[in-house]
Chains A and B, each alone.
Chain A
């Protein structure tokens, strides 16, 4: 009974302050569209970077005079090293064939001997895709006596790591700013509706309403504004993603959970801003 009363009061209140409510819902929608777009961009970027990182190889060159028995031992030690997912042996002859395939010239014609040492090509586990972990693995492998040199595409990894961090920090800062803007607008809407409803607030106090009972409709109002704004944002983002998927980029990654998360986030923004503005303004009535 009390819930129905509070809900009907909040609907009545939103209807009374239509323009403020519209502005508030619109601002929540725009905020969440922006945040949702950032989240989707981050998920897709993360996915793309993972694909790139999975292709990053580490090459372990062995000393020239290593015999076959030693190679087997080294192989076992590399396989047992932490972070190694897959290992491929490349003999000196195989390396020479690859050179010829890649550059179109036989190495014996160029140098009259085969300079390529035997090597292992390693693919790392996902947890070993960060620059620090790759470097740890490199150091560990270099400690094997038969290993001459360990190389990987360090500049590429450092480049990805540097710019990805900048990108995430940028997104975080922009998201924080737009959330603050939305909170200010909701705060303002609730302030206006409290002012518009000062008569009923005074009367409810006089007839013995508890402060919690008086505040509840405003909290529901915040929740409704957040819910409506976030459903609009989630729906628009979903159809936007579908359009991108159909016409521009079929590999786009999006999950239904992320849209649900957006709606929950919108409701929380609405509830929190209403909670704080009611606490701030209702005692002035």
Chain B
């Protein structure tokens, strides 16, 4: 479960978020909408504790931003998947290695890595492309690889920061279908977007943010 209580955040003397309060329950699919620079990415960064609030509290399962120790943050992040508009894949590694990285940082063994990477690649229907490099894949396929990497640790939530921003409409639909499928399997999804057309096609709860204020829930 994710809870924001009266969260304020400023960066470089600029107020980014003001009095943000919301709750996101296990298994929910929620859109976070608003124009560019509204503070959507900052909210996602606060969920994985890349940013900590100036005041107020962010609670991620049993961890509170007020009490979390730096050493605990990597463990929180292993329970959170995250994908981005620009995919953030490593160009010098193939699909398998890009996904395996998330397990290597946890010092998992070779056999376990192989088994889990192949399973998640099958889930996103890219098993046949495991030896290819990101440059050989379409944008939609690259985003699927990023999703596979985000899912490898079986997170309780998938954070998606404008995941369709770099994709053509057909690929965007394909990615949304995949996110819906992931959500049906029990993983919560929090998707930051300003693609309002998708909201109509896949209606879910919406959190709207403008200039750092939550304008409606």
Interface centre among A12, A200, A204, A206 (most CB of B within 10 A): A206
Give CA–CA (A16, B77) in the complex, Å: 28
> Considering the complex, which residues of chain A in the window 168-215 have a beta carbon less than 8 Å from any beta carbon of chain B?
199-200, 202-211, 213
Tell me whether B101 and A207 are in contact (CB under 8 A): yes
Indicate if A127 sits at the interface (CB-CB under 8 A).
Answer: no
State how many angstroms separate the Cβ of A146 from the closest Cβ of chain B. Answer: 79
**Are A203's CB and B48's CB within 8 A?**
no
Report A-chain residues with C-beta under 8 Å of the C-beta of B109.
Answer: 1
Nearest chain A CB to B92 CB, angstrom units: 8
Residues of B within 8 A of A (CB): 48, 50, 70-71, 74-78, 82, 88, 90, 92, 101-102, 104-110, 149, 153
Give every chain A residue within 8 A of B48 (Cβ-Cβ).
Answer: 206
Q: Report whether over half of chain A's contact residues are helix, strand or loop; otherwise say mixed.
A: helix
User: B105, A207: Cβ atoms under 8 Å?
Assistant: yes
Q: Are B101 and A208 interface neighbours, CB within 8 A?
A: no
CB neighbours (8 Å) of B75 from chain A are 208
In the complex, what residues of B have CB within 8 A of residue A199's CB? 88, 90
- CA gap between A206 and B102 in the complex, in Å: 9
Cβ distance A117 to chain B, nearest Cβ, rounded Å: 83
Contact check, A200 vs B153: say whether CB atoms are below 8 A apart. no
Contacts between the two chains (Cβ within 8 Å), count: 52
Is B105 in contact with A208, judged by CB distance below 8 angstroms?
yes
Closest A residue to B79 using CB positions: A208
With a CB–CB cut-off of 8 A, which chain B residues contact A213? Answer: 105
Number of A residues with CB within 8 Å of any CB on chain B: 18
Excluding A1-B109, A2-B107, A209-B105, 11 further A-B contacts by CB distance (< 8 Å) are A1-B107, A1-B108, A1-B110, A199-B90, A204-B101, A205-B74, A205-B77, A206-B50, A208-B78, A208-B106, A210-B71
CA of A209 to CA of B149 in the docked complex: distance in angstroms?
14
Given A5-B104, A203-B101, A209:B74 Cβ within 8 A: yes
Mind listing 9 A-B residue pairs with CB under 8 Å? A12-B92, A199-B90, A200-B101, A205-B74, A205-B77, A207-B101, A207-B105, A207-B149, A211-B70
Residues 1-59 (chain A) with a chain B CB within 8 angstroms: 1-2, 5, 12, 16
Cα–Cα distance between A28 and B76 once the two chains are bound (Å): 41
A8: nearest residue on chain B (CB-CB)? B104
- Closest B residue to A3 by beta carbon equals B107
* Closest partner residue, chain A, to B106 (CB atom): A208
Tell me the nearest residue of chain B to A206, going by C-beta.
B82
CA A233 to CA B110, docked complex, whole Å: 38
